[in-house]
Amino acid sequence: MYVTKIALFLCVLSAILTKVPLTPEYIFPLISIYENLNLITVLRFQLAVTSTTEAITSVARIQKFLLSGHKKAPLKHPSKSTDTCSPKSYQSSEPTVFGIHLNNVDVTFDTSTVLKNVTFSALPGDLVGLSGKSGSGKSIVLQVILEEIKAKGSIAVGGKISYASQEAWIFSASIKQNILFGEEEDEKKYLRVIRACALERDLSLFANGDQTLVGERGVMLSGGQKSRINLARAVYRDADIYLLDDPLAAVDASVAQHIFNECILGYLKDKCVVLVTHHLKYLRNVKKRYIINKGKVVEEASSENDFMESDEAIQEDFIKSHNLPPEIHESATTKYSTQQIYKKYWCSGNHWILPCLIFALLLLTHSLNSFIDMFIVFPIISNKTKSFYFFSLTLEHFLYVYASLIVLLFFLNHTLSMIFMKHCMSISKTLHNTLLDKILAVPIKFFNEHPSDQPSTHLE
């Protein structure tokens, strides 16, 4: 605020000492030049340095990625067992085997065994249900199939794979672009996928439909909407194998039932589908269903009684570990308006007098800043009218007052910044301690029924 004032004062002082007349042609161009220099050096130059540094780093990473190359491993016959699942162990001369075949697969991290002797197969047209307790290794099985994790044993995967991750990945674009993800648009197929993934009603609520921008990481969407868009992207892609990592976890019961019936059993009925889920009720009529316990496929539930016995234990363990309720409502409201929120925030400090002091200093600082711009006009008017300076000031007194005003502005500006910072830190500490006390007082049942990615109005 005062850098321009100091630079202008030095120019006025130099002009007076060298007996250069203070005319509008001298003063006002100086003010304009220094204001532009202030904007460029204080704001735009720093932004340019930051943006240039980030751009250089990003371009270097993109260049490294584009020049890294791609190694595509040929398919491996399931009868041929190898020590490790690596591209070198594949035999391109073997006939192509469609589907998934795992036989005695082991995964070890450091010294701990995550998966041991995992064996199952999935062929085109099969729906394989994979369930188990939290941390049992269900998602790791999918990563082994995707070759994201090295494993020992016989692994054969034939066909194009489409994967829907448990954590929905949304990029900053429209909903339609997130679903198509570079694929060629087929309107009939696109509408079928939207209907199968229960997105029709959600798109009708948006003013721009599927052209609605979702924001950075999908901030404009709820957790269930992001999960269904993530699933729709995987389903829209033409593939032979679909790996679905718990797509029913972030939606309510009715939507989950619709997705299971219309998408998994309907749209993907002729595909090879591996479904990881903790909703065991949807797997009751699935022919191939596996339960993983402590890294092992301990049983393939073949009868209704065996499956129901493990249902309750796995469901209870999953809810305790993941904070995911069986039914999630995707709407939230607040009883506070924007003005009330700002007022509540501003009055949360330790001293009520500080907001009044900050307002008074803010008003005084900006008034003084404007007055200094007006004060420089006094010698110009005096030269034009051939009269004495305002307030009976001599030229020497004018310089003293001008310098004093700039020093006062310097002092008020720094005092205002210091008090404002202290008050904001006081507010942050008060809100943090209050929030922490509230959270510690909430029963554990609340966190089981309300996941962290869904806003709630119960906690104040």
Helix (H) or strand (E) holding 145: helix 138-145
pLDDT of residue 460: 37
What is the Cα–Cα distance from 146 to 164, expressed in whole angstroms?
12
Report the range of poorest mean pLDDT among 58-62, 76-80, 449-453. Answer: 76-80
Half-sphere exposure of 434 (CA within 13 A, CB side): 12
Copy the structure tokens of residue 340.
């009330």
pLDDT of residue 147: 85
Q: How far does Cα 368 stand from its chain's mean position?
A: 43
Q: What is the pLDDT of residues 384-432, one digit of tens each?
A: 544 444 556 677 777 888 888 989 998 999 999 999 998 889 899 988 9
What is the Cα–Cα distance from 27 to 122, expressed in whole angstroms?
83
DSSP per position, 149-213: S--EEEEEEES-EEEE-SS----SSBHHHHHHTTPPP-HHHHHHHHHHTT-HHHHHHSTTGGG-B
Domain residues of the chain, as ranges? 1-70, 336-460
Helix (H) or strand (E) holding 456: none
* Helix residue ranges, H only, 292-352: 304-322, 338-346
**Looking at the predicted structure, is the pLDDT value of residue 81 above 50?**
no
C-alpha pair distances (Å), 374 with each of 5, 7, 31, 377, 399? 12, 16, 12, 6, 14
SS (H, E, C) 389-417: CHHHCCHHHHHHHHHHHHHHHHHHHHHHH
The mean pLDDT value for 437-449 works out to 79
Q: How far does Cα 71 stand from its chain's mean position?
A: 31
What is the Cα–Cα distance from 94 to 44, expressed in whole angstroms?
62
- Among residues 441, 375, 446, 443, the alpha carbon closest in space to that of 406 is found at 375
Please report, rounded to a whole number, the percentage of residues in the chain having pLDDT higher than 70: 79
